[in-house]
Amino acid sequence: MGQVRAIVLRAAGINCDMETEYALRLCGAEARRVHVNRLIENKSLLDEYQILVVPGGFSYGDDVAAGRILANQMVHHLAEPLRKFVDDGKLVLGICNGFQVLVKTGLLPGGEFQNKVTLTDNDSGKFEDRWVHLEAMSGKCVFIGQGEKIYLPVAHAEGKVQVADNDVLEQLKSADQIAFRYVDSSGGQAEYPYNPNGSVEGISGLIDSTGRVMGLMPHPERYIRPTQHPHWSRLSKRSEGDGRKIFANAVEYVRKNLLTPSGK
């Protein structure tokens, strides 16, 4: 069996690449941070990896719009290799700014939803930095099991998922492409501050039609170890943070489906 290999995309302003690389390595992947310009110069580099992660931060300072400049680079220079990457059955994960990038490239939600979903300013009108409860909603997402509830930190100013109209929302639901929703501490419908940005129906993450491309606003790489939780000393003893399972599931999926003969 070969080694699971993950590429963590870098660009000016991205600031969670090292944490993301560490999380992937902790879960057994050989992870490497690569600047987007190096990938544009050598597009075949993607062929060497099975997981692509666009991490959080503020790519190019979000000077035009959150994630827009990096998304444009990817669309104009990497569209074909990215499409091949997904068509080959590989995984793509976008976290926070990376989620914004994937939406603006059209990789999320993808297909018929092109230009019908966006991420915009938080309803609070300010940067939200807090911990939130999430429920996994999709039955086809490879990164986490449906119904699982996890607790992760958010840190963003433009994290509100907004759809063109109610028909688009219903289509996303029927296509099972809502990866996560914000919930309150008891698992019920989330209002502010449990829903930190005002996302429609509390949507905090989306997948494409394959379930192998996912974006989410909260930061799983910031809760890999129990001691990263602000109340770690008061929580029941646990061996790992909730965010670790997203990376672990991705690595395990690759091992079983891409590296093992006949997927066995």
pLDDT score for 263: 47
Considering 128, 158, 221, 229, which one is annotated as catalytic?
A: 221
pLDDT digit string (tens) for the chain, length 264 residues: 589 999 999 999 999 999 999 999 999 999 999 999 999 999 999 999 999 999 999 999 988 888 999 999 999 999 999 999 999 999 999 999 999 999 999 999 998 898 899 999 999 999 999 999 999 999 999 999 999 999 999 999 999 999 999 999 999 999 999 999 999 999 999 999 999 999 999 999 999 999 999 999 999 999 999 999 988 887 777 779 999 999 999 999 999 999 976 545
The verdict on whether 191 is a catalytic residue reads: no
Considering 16, 21, 158, 219, which one is annotated as catalytic?
A: 219
pTM of the entire structure? Answer: 0.95
pLDDT score for 220: 98
> Which domains are assigned to the chain?
5-263 (3.40.50.880)
Report phi then psi at 9, rounded to 5.
-75, 135
Residue 217 exposure: Cα atoms within 13 Å on the Cβ side: 34
The verdict on whether 41 is a catalytic residue reads: no
Report phi then psi at 228, rounded to 5.
-80, -10
The verdict on whether 221 is a catalytic residue reads: yes
Considering 21, 96, 158, 229, which one is annotated as catalytic?
A: 96
